Amino acid sequence: MALAAGEPAPDFSLARADGQPFTREDLLGKTTVLVFYPFAFSPVCTDQLSVYNELLDEFAARGATLYGVSCDATYSQTAFREQLGIAIEQLSDFEPKGAVCSAFGVLHPLGFPQRALVLIGPDGVVKWSYEAPKPSELPGANLIFDALDA
């Protein structure tokens, strides 16, 4: 199960597109939504990130930045992002595979991220999280707005 509200984000390191690490320190002082998704290029993921991408101004107006997180290699994530034509930055949990997903409690038993959303506040503590009952169910963007507006 995804980390619950009130739990601190763990120490972790994800790879940004340019190879630089994205760590717990990058969460501090900001409102962050980590969008965990199973696989780049699978049809279901496409709709989810595409819809969220339409709403980035609305999220920014609430001070929130979204990141997509999967276990795909950076090259795959970059190609995926370009194909979708989306602005949401991707973070890779490729090596060691699934380590960060595991630390956030969102690693599916078959070795890929659950479809989950984790909202982390400026203090590095989880404010809200959601895990879809199965990877084929897309969490609506309204869930993120409700959590941000709560």
Total number of residues binding another protein (CB under 8 A)?
Answer: 20
Nearer to another protein, 13 or 65 (CB): 65
Pick the piece of the chain touching another protein (CB under 8 A) from 1-9, 25-33, 107-115, 142-150: 142-150
Phi–psi pair at 65, nearest 5 degrees: -115, 135
Pick the piece of the chain touching another protein (CB under 8 A) from 44-52, 67-75, 95-103, 116-124: 44-52
Strands, sheet with 116-120, edge to edge from the N-terminal-most edge strand: 21-23, 13-15, 89-92, 64-70, 31-36, 116-120, 126-131
Binding mask 74-113 for another protein (x = CB under 8 A): ----------xxx---------------------------
Nearer to another protein, 69 or 132 (CB): 132
Cβ at position 14, least distance to another protein in Å: 22
What DSSP assignment string belongs to 27-48?
Answer: GTTSEEEEEE-S-TT-HHHHHH
- The type of residue at 89 is E
Residue 18's CB is within 10 A of a number of other CB atoms, namely 7
- What is the phi-psi region of residue 78: left when phi exceeds 0, alpha when psi lies from -120 to 50, beta otherwise? alpha
Q: CA-to-CA distance for 69 and 90, rounded, in angstroms?
A: 6
Cβ at position 46, least distance to another protein in Å: 6
Pick the piece of the chain touching another protein (CB under 8 A) from 12-20, 21-29, 53-61, 103-111: 53-61
Residue of the chain from 49, 64, 66, 71 that contacts another protein (CB under 8 A): 49
H or E, element range at 144? helix 141-149
Question: Applying CB under 8 A, which residues contact another protein?
Answer: 46-51, 53-55, 58, 84-86, 138-143, 145
